[in-house]
Amino acid sequence: MTTPAIAIIGGGPCGLTLARLLECKGIDYTVFERDASANSNRAGGSLDIHAHTGQHALREGGLIDEFKKYARYEDAVMSLADKHGKKVFEMGQGRDDPEIDRAELRQILLDAVPKDKIKWGHVLQSVAVGEDKRPVIRFSNGTEISSFKLVVGADGAWSKVRSVITQATPKYSSKTYLESRIGLENPLYQTVASNVGAGSSLAIGSGKLIVTQRQGNGSYRIYFGFEIPENYYRDGTVNLQDIEATRRWLLTNFYADWSEEYQDFIRHATDFRAWPLYSLATEDMGWKSVPGFTLAGDAAHVSIPNGEGVNLAMADSLTLANKIEEHGLEDLDKAVQEYEADMFPRGISSICDGKRWAEVMYSDDPQAFVKLITSLMPDE
């Protein structure tokens, strides 16, 4: 057996989209994924998949009909309120940006990739350029491979592949989400379902926010957003495993002046998980191509969440696959150079958008968010 020319590091939506597209084009590859198996319980909420990016990539991969079986078009709606619960804006009715659970999207992609082309339990340890100028990849299980022509880092915000291409690293934005859940069995569930309903609800005030998002099984994920020091969760100040203490901490330090409705969200929230928000800088885009390596998705241009992350990752995968097909395996360097030239402006735009979104979401005035959203809407 011969080694494929292309190694994809990371089996999330980005890496698996690239794998599926290469499969359709008859280009061989191997995906290396850190999870032990396809059944690993990876964290991740609901994703909105946009028509001209994420859906376009799925269509090119022959998966759009399968996607539509799980896509929730009714959950494309979003409402905006102030910290007192007064609704000030609604949008999304009829929008072609349906939601799908991350786990469902990943499974659609997994089912479309031959099982023998995914190597589970491969945690990337390091990457390097070998004496023969080819990539060398080493995994924590002791595996070392130096026969690939191209290594694609689809390994997320803290990509190890990135280190061989650029010294850029994501910087903390000073903002964080604390993710939690209201499950179907939660005593507050019916109240949340009645108040939020389909889609998402965003509340803004006092430099903080609360995002409530319906999931595929009808439960809700809640994201509490505020500013804290980077190492706050690591220094023992708050123990997220102590649910009652975490609830008191949120109510006392961040949401004491919010309405009872939102305070009840906190009193009943469970399964707290920290999500500090990091971003690369626009100056980090535009590196000189390194033969044998490239990046896609968050590994290339992680930003503060702006609704585009998974969509841009899938668009990256489509562009890269098309360039590889155009130039062939004998001219992968040219394919990567043209792909990166196409990807950099996309990354810069996403990083800028993330900063703009954060400015209005972590503000005192919900109307600032309304102005931003309406400015982005296409003219009728």
Q: What is the pLDDT of residues 239-250, one digit of tens each?
A: 999 999 999 999
Domains and CATH numbers, the chain: 6-72+99-170+281-360 (3.50.50.60), 171-279 (3.30.9.30)
Question: Which phi and psi angles does 266 have, rounded to 5°?
Answer: -70, -45
pLDDT tier at 326, thresholds 50, 70, 90: very high
What pLDDT score was predicted for residue 237? Answer: 79
For residue 93, pLDDT beyond 60: yes
- Which residues make beta-bridge pairs with 29? 6
For residue 43, pLDDT beyond 70: no
Q: What is the mean pLDDT of residues 254-276?
A: 97
What pLDDT score was predicted for residue 78? Answer: 93
For residue 231, pLDDT beyond 90: no
For residue 374, pLDDT beyond 90: no
Helix (H, G, I), strand (E, B) or coil at 152: strand
DSSP string, 322-348: HHHHHH-GGGHHHHHHHHHHHHHHHHH
For residue 1, pLDDT beyond 80: no
Which residues fall within 8 angstroms of residue 58, CB to CB, at 6 or more apart? 17, 49, 64, 67, 108, 314
* Contact criterion met (CB below 8 Å) for 291 and 132: no
Give the residue from 228, 193, 235 showing the smallest Cα distance to 208: 228
What pLDDT score was predicted for residue 380? Answer: 43
Tokens linked to 82: 């102030």
For residue 379, pLDDT beyond 70: no
Helices of type H across the chain: 13-24, 54-60, 64-70, 102-111, 189-196, 243-253, 260-268, 298-301, 309-327, 332-361, 366-376
List pLDDT tens digits, range 25-39: 999 999 999 999 888
Residue-averaged pLDDT of the chain: 94
CA distance 273 to 287: 34
What pLDDT score was predicted for residue 94? Answer: 78
Q: Identify the residue whose tokens are 């599926």.
A: 20
**Count of other CB atoms within 10 angstroms of residue 301:** 28
For residue 376, pLDDT beyond 90: no
Q: Give the C-alpha distances (Å, rounded to integers) separating 324 from 18, 161, 172, 329.
A: 11, 19, 34, 7
Q: What is the mean pLDDT of residues 51-58?
A: 97
For residue 272, pLDDT beyond 80: yes
Q: Do the strands 171-182 and 220-227 form a parallel or antiparallel pair, or are they unpaired? A: antiparallel
Q: What is the mean pLDDT of residues 173-194?
A: 97
Q: What is the mean pLDDT of residues 308-315?
A: 96
What pLDDT score was predicted for residue 375? Answer: 83
DSSP string, 290-308: -TTEEE-THHHH--S--S-
